Structure 1
Amino acid sequence: MTGSAPNPDADAVAWGDLLAGSYREIGERAMRDLPIYNDALGVEAVGFRAFNGTIVGIMVTPWFMNVVLPASAVAQATSGATARIRFPAGDIEFTISEVGQIGRIASCSLFSPMFQFADMDAARATAEAALAELMLPADSEEAVRRREPATTPIDRRNFLRGTLTERRG
């Protein structure tokens, strides 16, 4: 008998797709006519993957972008409660809520409303970048480098001339 090994990332993608379906229904039923709804966007599950025995990804909708995971990752949490979950980048606070037939989820808001995004490509790229940052260990060389201010050395001659921020002819 041949078979394939279980694929936790495939399960994560499937869960993200189910969650996206619930949000599509919510969008059509309850959100479309609200002033926070960005018609240029759709609903998409971005980057869903297995993580520390659960699932994590980013849900993009026309009204929010959230990091989400099943609330089963948070023991005994009830809707409206908050929970801190450890990620490589650090501890993140999530709020527990109920979503349609999916049940309880934990979510952390990244953006709401979503008017700073002109299209799904921009929203998706932001979601992918946010998830990459979340998975980057806080003490890694890359994370430390990103936290350093992007400054250029002060040129003594320009400092004394007062031309640090503008060029003079």
Structure 2
Amino acid sequence: MKNAVQGAARGDPRGAALVAHFEAVASGATRDMPVVNRALRVEAIGFAPMASEAGARGAWPGALITPWSMNLLWLPGATQDSAPCPRPGGKACLRVGNVDFDWIGAHAQDVGAYACCSLFSPMFEFAGQESAAATARAVLAQLRCAEGGGQGGGKAVAPRASRRAFLLRPGAFGSAA
């Protein structure tokens, strides 16, 4: 089986803990739910420390693919000036790059506090793991271009753009499939 923790998250035990937690959910509580795309598996993609921005120092945003959803996840940083995650079930507006996202707080044993922001749910538009992972990597690449002040794929991301505007702008994910 391919390693389900991709990118820098391999160096952070929270990435492996996230995958283990959601694999347990996938094999238990959600296994027979009608929203499950059986062509997909749990995979953590692209978790890496964010560029140093006020309030976000040390935060580790990334994407988590499950058979029922794809979410951006925010793992809080270890520094005192890092933006804290909202309490479980609570909401917060946190910025990644130039984009403000509405996040919902959560907590998992062995992971600790994290926040999530839904990108896709359910996941039936994805034929397989490769297309879901490619989409997650494209979203993260666009956000990281915006984070560094760059322009993802030649398209400027407007300051304070909403999640919907960011994801639905023309050319956000390259050519149509």
TM-score calculated relative to the size of structure 2 = 0.69
- The CA deviation at 1:102 is 2.1
Give the deviation of 1:89 after TM superposition.
Answer: 2.8
Larger radius of gyration: 1
5+ residue gaps, structure 2, are 1-7, 51-56, 157-168, 172-177
By percentage of residues, which structure has more strand? 1
Aligned identity (percent) is 32
Q: Does structure 1 retain, via aligned residues, the 8 Å contact 2:37–2:124?
A: yes
The aligned residue for residue 145 of structure 2 is: 136
After superposition, what is the alpha-carbon deviation per residue over 1:4-57, rounded to whole angstroms, capped at 9, x for unaligned? xxxx86534x32221011000011110010000110000000111112312111
Which residue in 1 is equivalent to 2:134? 125
- The answer to whether the aligner puts 1:63 opposite 2:68 as a matched pair is yes
Q: Unpaired runs of 5+ in structure 1?
A: 1-7, 151-169
Instruction: Within 5 Å, give how 1:1-169 maps onto structure 2.
Output: 10-12=10-12, 14-51=13-50, 52-71=57-76, 74-75=83-84, 77-137=86-146, 140=149, 142-143=151-152, 145-146=154-155
> How far does residue 71 in structure 1 lie from its aligned partner after superposition?
5.0
Q: Which whole-Å CA distance do the structure 1 matches of 2:85 and 2:133 have between them?
A: 32
Tell me the number of residue pairs that the alignment of Structure 1 and Structure 2 aligns.
142
> CA 1:149/1:27 → structure 2, altered by over 3 Å: closer, same or farther?
closer
What is the SS of the residue equivalent to 2:40? coil
Q: Is the 8 A contact 1:56 1:67 kept in 2?
A: yes
Q: Which has the higher helix share?
A: 1
CA contact (8 A) 1:85 1:92 kept: yes
The separation in 2 between residues aligned to 1:104 and 1:119, in whole angstroms, is 29
Distance in 2 separating the partners of 1:138 and 1:76: 19
TM-score under structure 1 length normalisation: 0.72
